[in-house]
A and B are shown apart, each in its own frame.
Chain A
Amino acid sequence: MSARYSWGGDEFVFVELAEEMSLQANFKAMAITKLLQAERPDGVLEICPANASYQVRYDPDVLEPHGFLAHLKRLEERVGDALGVTLDCRVVEIPVLYRDPWTTETQMRFRDRHQDPGATDIEYAARINGYGSVEEFIAVHSGSPWFTSMVGFVAGLPFKYQMVPRDRQILVPKYLRPRTDTPKQTVGYGGCFSCIYSVRGAGGYQMFGITPAPIYDPTQTKPDFTEHMVFMRPGDIVTFRPIERDEYDDLQAAAEAGEFRITNRPVGFDLQPFLDDPDGYNKRLLEVLA
């Protein structure tokens, strides 16, 4: 796979590392942007890694564009295939109430925009992915970890890529037309990505459930947000833990009282051993939560 470089007007360089999504393309994006972040040349304003691409906003009055582009190409060469890169990550546990009343109610208001108005979003996703029941589908969605390959769209919204071989990945189309409403902290799905809606608003991803864990706090009053108003970081390895309504209510009350903290532990993540044995590697990764 060879990268494609493009100008985004007079202030952006846009780099597509691969046309299709893969963990390896994401790793390259992360590795290159980390190198650039460490150098932080004068004139670099924003460094945004994404799923299989990245962009940099820079001041062309400070950094000569053609020389800067050549430098980015050298960083790409240094990173190479990214197989030898170790990323410092966190393993993060997100409790999820699947099939919750709030996203279900929202789904019902937008049935005319859905592929299968007679089914719920999760029933539809389970069926088209060949699972016999929603329970089985939930077991799969919560049964392997997810790699945060991009944060964005709106403030603090993580895109999560399933850490299983491609032939086992869940694929679900987005709504036919986007909704104008999505509850805050909805666990959603579109294409090959799971996401958590950080704020209430428009959205086109299918809605599977809701988490009581706040992931964005612009007031910075909650305990996980004293340093940053955004919790999720590119590279966070997320595992979804199914919970029942009673536990949801308890955790939600704790979150509102400012007492809930998201369980997380630091880990180093290496791409090659993961690709060699995803299931074994995931199992070892998640042991840090035990």
Chain B
Amino acid sequence: MTGATTIEVRKPGLSTTVQDGGRSGYYHLGIPPSGALDQYSLACANALVANPPDAAVLEIVYMGPELAFTGPATVAVAGAAIAPKVNGDERPVWESFDVAEGDVLSFDYLKAGARAYLAVSGGLDTPVKLGSRSTYALGALGGVEGRPLAEGDVLPVGADRGSGSARAGLVVPPELRPVLAKEVEVRVVMGLYDHRLTDRGRATFLDTEWTLTPVADRIGFRYTGGQLETVDREPPFGAGQDPSNIVDSPYPIGSIQVPGGVEPIVLHRDAVSGGGYMMVATVLSGDLDVVAQSAPRTRTRFVEVDLDTALGLRAERKDRLARLHAALDG
């Protein structure tokens, strides 16, 4: 395959960004991991085109871009149900296909889920910043000039190679695809500042069917549906007056903060790294994929699991990834 293929951005889509497996080691300076919000779909898209699992792809949210290829490539879309089209002809999601020089790739409207991942054989070759190509827009870092795609951008395609060679017609078996639903369960480990909740507040958190608001981006996902009762207290020095205030602390990725006891916010991979609102639980790292595929209005229940259960679910996810690679590699 040619290494000189580039992709011209004719229409950028709503907020299309370059993302990969993310960066590590800078969160203590306020620079979050970034990377694909749905890491499982990232791995799927890359496996379909024989890329390494964390190669750079385009993350498409709600509405797809229109892209022109200057050379041939094998590509694949995984994640949300938003069908790709080559020169107007629809192609399946979860299956690799070829594009030729001059072909235009566009997308149908979104039918389910929220975020799709477009992988190109060889990976996107935008500059590596702090060990990753991922876009962190709040810090103007990574991707294309630290921002979502704009009309006229030109994306270089790299020569990253996985274990096999890319070919059209590879398919992620249906049983290895995530379920995209309007009602989801997100598993959490309770903790952090959950002692600020009364028993009733805690029960409300776990019993409420929360609804995702339109405030759902790479930084965080805000839900509405209830008011959490907090324990009365004398505010500790430096915390602030509101019962939900704490002395500004670090925020785990996936932590759920509840400012004012209303509208929980799940912090995702472009998280603000710290702040002064009580966090009451943390989403399992694997279930952040479920959050990533939640569109506004998705009804969501937070389901408590203990750490040992969380580790068991983590092992199951790893096994699923191993089955994915067994199905697609070689």
Which residues of A are in contact with B by a Cβ distance under 8 Å?
Answer: 6-12, 14, 16, 18-22, 45-55, 57, 60-61, 65, 150-157, 159, 166, 173-174, 190-193, 198-199, 201, 216, 218, 228-230, 234
Q: Which partner residue on chain B sits nearest A50 by CB separation?
A: B250
CB distance from B166 to the nearest CB of A (A): 29
* A57–B129 alpha-carbon span in the complex (Å): 21
Q: Which chain A residues border B284 with CB–CB below 8 Å?
A: 9-10
CB-CB nearest in chain A for B138 = A154
Given contacts A12-B282, A53-B247, A173-B241, contact A65 B307 (CB under 8 A): yes
Q: Closest residue of chain B to A10, judged by CB?
A: B310
A10 contacts B189, CB within 8 Å?
yes
The answer to whether residues A157 and B30 also contact, given A10-B189, A65-B307, A152-B273 and a CB cut-off of 8 A, is: yes
Decide: A152 near B30, CB < 8 A? Known: A8-B191, A191-B238: yes
Is the Cβ of B139 less than 8 Å from the Cβ of A150? no
| Chain A residue at smallest Cβ distance from B194 | A6
Given contacts A9-B282, A9-B285, contact A193 B310 (CB under 8 A): no
Q: Are A216 and B311 in contact (CB under 8 A)?
A: no
Contact B24 A14 (CB under 8 A): no
Pair A49/B311 contact, Cβ less than 8 Å: no
Name the B residues within 8 Å of A46 (CB-CB).
Answer: 24-28
Interface size class on chain B is 35 or more
B191 and A152 contact, CB distance less than 8 A? no
Residues of B at under 8 Å CB distance from A? 24-31, 129-130, 136, 138-141, 146, 188-189, 191-192, 236-241, 247-250, 252-255, 272-276, 279, 282-286, 307, 310-311, 314, 318
| 17 other A-B residue contacts (CB within 8 Å) besides A19-B236, A156-B29, A157-B30 | A8-B282, A9-B285, A10-B189, A10-B307, A12-B282, A14-B192, A20-B237, A21-B247, A45-B24, A52-B249, A57-B253, A150-B274, A154-B272, A191-B276, A193-B248, A199-B139, A230-B29
Q: Are A198 and B30 in contact (CB under 8 A)?
A: yes
Which of chain B's residues have a CB closer than 8 A to the CB of A20? 236-239, 247
Quick check: B285 and A218 within 8 Å, CB to CB?
no
CB atoms of A9 and B28 under 8 A apart: no
Interfacial chain A residues near B141, Cβ < 8 Å:
155, 218, 229
Which of chain A's residues has its CB closest to B141's CB? A218
Cα(A49)–Cα(B28), bound, Å: 7
What is the count of residue pairs linking A and B with beta-carbon distances less than 8 angstroms?
177
Q: Verify A50–B252 contact, CB threshold 8 A.
A: no
Assuming A8-B192, A46-B27, A216-B139, is B239 touching A191 (CB within 8 A)?
A: yes
- A171 to B: closest C-beta gap in Å: 9
Which one, A57, A60, A234, contacts B252 given CB within 8 A?
A57
Let me know if A199 and B140 touch, CB within 8 A.
Answer: yes
Q: Which residue of A lies closest to B287 (CB)?
A: A9
The distance in angstroms between the C-alpha atoms of A150 and B313, with both chains bound, is 33
Cross-chain contact A6 with B240 (CB below 8 angstroms): no
Cβ-closest 9 pairs across A and B = A21-B238, A8-B252, A9-B282, A155-B139, A20-B236, A152-B273, A152-B30, A12-B252, A6-B191
Q: Is the CB of B285 within 8 A of A10?
A: yes
B106 to chain A, nearest CB (A): 31
- Residues from chain B with Cβ under 8 Å of A10 in the complex: 189, 284-286, 307, 310-311, 314
Q: How far is the CB of B256 from chain A (nearest CB, A)?
A: 10
Q: Given known contacts A9-B283, A65-B311, A191-B276, is B25 in contact with A45 (CB within 8 Å)?
A: yes
Q: Which residues on the B side are within 8 Å of A12 (C-beta)?
A: 252-253, 255, 282
Residue among A61, A154, A201 with the most chain B CB within 10 A? A154
Query: Does the CB pair A14–B307 fall under 8 Å?
Result: no
Chain A's nearest CB lies how many Å from the CB of B25? 6
> Measured between C-beta atoms, what is the minimum distance from A230 to chain B in Å?
4
Bound complex: CA A228 to CA B26 (Å): 11
